[in-house]
Amino acid sequence: MKMIDVKELSFKYQKKGKLVLDKLNFSCEKGTVNVLIGLNGSGKTTLIKTIAGLLENYQGEVFIDGKNLKGLSIKERAKKMAYVSQHSNAVDDFPVLDYLLFGTVNKMNFYQSPKEEDKKRVLDYAKQFGITHLLDKKLGEISGGERQIVSICGAIVQDTDLVVLDEPTSALDIKNQHAVLAIIKKIAREQGKTFILSSHNPNHALYLSSNVFLLRHGKILAQGQAEDIINIEALKTVYGEDICYSVELPYKEISFKD
Amino acid sequence: MLNQKKNWMTGVFFTLVSLTFVVVFILALIVGRYDISIGNFFKMLFSQNGYEMERSIVVNLRLPRTIIAALTGLALSVSGLLYQETFQNKLVSPDLLGVSSGAGVGAALAIVLGVSSVFVSFFAFGFGVLTVLATMFVAKAFQNKSSMVLTLSGIIVGGCMGAVLSFVKYLADAETTLASITFWLMGSFEHSVMDDVYVLLPIVTICSIVILAISYRVNIVALGREEAQTRGINYRAYRTLIIIVATLLTASSVAFAGTISWIGLVVPHIVRLMLGRDTKKTIPMCMLFGATFMVIADILSRVFTAAEIPLSAVTGFFGTIIFVVLLFVRRDTIREND
């Protein structure tokens, strides 16, 4: 069963501008982790935002769980998928608990606010994510890594089958990168949710044992299982001739020669 | 544990401010140039006959102006908070989209044309609303739906209305109408009557009900378009609704009380300092605190001197002091990107 089905998808930011996404065709099965890999400007963020319903004037079709994205209301979209942006714009003085509770709003009427059972559910998720010690702190008081984990937890609180993440590890140190990826891996394994995320780092796709889409100039150059796709020849088409493997690690580590 | 303490503190703040409001409301009916003792006030309240002079002063003069003061304080404070949350900028006042400057032009035009005082209010209200519509129109012309373009359009249209106001003032008779325009712009409840209450009360009540109904969702709108929309909130529809409510509240207040500075900026800050960020709590508190603040400002405007001090002078003076104290208390938490 397809969770995401993209057909002939093209997008440009300005009418006379160049195509950022160029007639893309691909699909993601339910319960899989999918990683978009490519250089800056390859169209990763644009594709992620289009799937999340944040960019409207695209050509072609995007189906989420069999439904055309353009036919879904904003509320229906939020019931099907959650989104984590690269940098949360949430003001620093929201307490973490209040911020997580905002994720429950997709199942409420306009006049309602979270109830006790919503709070209990959020507390359960916070336990799973290991962030109960942060709940009373304000967003501005926690580290960048903690904030990104809080954002992902906020998306999981939305209780959707699909989670869309735009470069969730950008601007994080390697310890926090690992913490974020470990959470994604755990949630994908335990809850069977479908993930699609963009990343600059091919190692992340290997670590997540994901499906990979290699993007360049708005086109998909290659797609398939990370172990199959992430090979030197494929990566050279994206990153250039200087790319190589490091073999000392239990999983393949991509690096550069001098 | 911390949550329970917070809820308890919220309850305490609401009780204290509610009690203060009741006390200052009664005080506003007693205090003034004609001296009414507290004893006589309560005797008058509970007796059918006698105290005709006191009754007349309280019912015809002080009651309407105090109700108008409370409604105006409520309206300006809550619209200040709504603008600050929606535009993610704590330094925004209800005049962001030009409503006060537009209302000023309307009132000045009405005064120059020599229409009756009721029409001055209607002119002010109409021009206030028209100015915000002009701001939205200019923003639409840019074909960019961001909040930044809307804010810039507000500055453009507000600046233009400031120029028009200067021109109208230039045309006004220096001896008579110019003085009236100047006094109107400084704000006053001196001429408030019960008929004003009958117009202002329904507008403020309806707007308050609407905004209280969506008070929790204002939090999500304050996250910005991306985060609000992906949580299932129609960001643009809610932003438009909030702007309409805030504009109606501000335009109707300015129409009946003139332009009153600072309250829309300072009260939301004080309320956030007391209760934190959750708009489910700050919106009702802003209403209560703003009403109390304005009734106190009205009392102060008429107790210091025989003639009334303009409201903007009182709110400006006390608003500045409170703002300085607030900034001093919170100086460690203010960061570059706030």
CA distance B159 to B101: 8
CA distance B260 to B71: 13
Q: What average pLDDT does this structure show over B182-201?
A: 89
Between A156 and A235, residue with greater pLDDT: A156
| 3-state DSSP assignment of residue B15 | helix
| Number of alpha carbons in the 13 Å side-chain half-sphere of residue A64 | 26
End-to-end CA distance of chain A: 45
Determine contact, residues A44/A52, Cβ cutoff 8 Å: no
Q: How does residue B107 score in pLDDT terms, banded at 50, 70 and 90?
A: very high
The mean predicted confidence, pLDDT, of chain A is 89
According to the model, what pLDDT value does residue A212 have? 93
Query: Amino acid identity of A69?
Result: L
According to the model, what pLDDT value does residue B15 have? 97
According to the model, what pLDDT value does residue B184 have? 87
A75 interfacial to chain B (CB closer than 8 Å) = yes
According to the model, what pLDDT value does residue A80 have? 96
| CB-closest option in B2, B232, B278 to A98 | B278
Q: A147, A183, A243, A258: which is closest to A33 by C-alpha?
A: A183
Between B145 and A218, residue with greater pLDDT: A218
**What are B44-85's pLDDT values in tens digits?**
888 877 788 888 888 889 999 999 999 999 999 999 999 999
Share of chain B above pLDDT 70, in %: 97
CA distance B266 to B89: 13
According to the model, what pLDDT value does residue A231 have? 79
**What are A56-74's pLDDT values in tens digits?**
889 999 999 999 999 999 9
Determine contact, residues A4/A32, Cβ cutoff 8 Å: no
Domains of chain B: 2-332 (1.10.3470.10)
Query: Amino acid identity of A61?
Result: E
Q: B67, B80, B79, B75: which is closest to B295 by C-alpha?
A: B67
Please report residues of B whose CB lies closer than 8 A to that of A111.
213-214
Pairing of strands A211-216, A33-38: parallel
Please report residues of A whose CB lies closer than 8 A to that of B278.
98
Pairing of strands A219-225, A67-68: unpaired
| Number of alpha carbons in the 13 Å side-chain half-sphere of residue B68 | 30
Determine contact, residues B125/B189, Cβ cutoff 8 Å: no
Please report residues of B whose CB lies closer than 8 A to that of A110.
213-214, 217
B224 interfacial to chain A (CB closer than 8 Å) = yes
* Bridge partner list, A222: A214
* Bridge partner list, A216: A219
B280 interfacial to chain A (CB closer than 8 Å) = yes
**Residue A227 to residues A137, A206, A234, B320: CA-CA distances in angstroms?**
40, 7, 12, 64
* Bridge partner list, A52: none
CA-derived radius of gyration, chain B = 21
- Tokens of residue B50, six digits: 């006698």
pTM across the whole model:
0.89
For the cut 80, the answer to whether the pLDDT of residue A87 exceeds it is no
Q: What residues contact residue A238 under an 8 Å CB cut-off, 6+ apart?
A: A37, A38, A39, A42, A214, A215, A216, A221
CA A100 to centroid of chain Cα atoms: 17
Determine contact, residues B74/B290, Cβ cutoff 8 Å: yes
CA distance B51 to A246: 97
B226 interfacial to chain A (CB closer than 8 Å) = yes
According to the model, what pLDDT value does residue B337 have? 46
| 3-state DSSP assignment of residue B193 | coil
A110 interfacial to chain B (CB closer than 8 Å) = yes
Q: What average pLDDT does this structure show over A107-118?
A: 91
Between B118 and B12, residue with greater pLDDT: B12
Determine contact, residues B68/B199, Cβ cutoff 8 Å: no
CB contact under 8 A, A102 and B229: no
Question: Considering only the top CATH level, what class is A2-91+159-170+181-256?
Answer: alpha beta
For the cut 60, the answer to whether the pLDDT of residue B219 exceeds it is yes
Share of chain A above pLDDT 90, in %: 57
Please report residues of B whose CB lies closer than 8 A to that of A80.
none
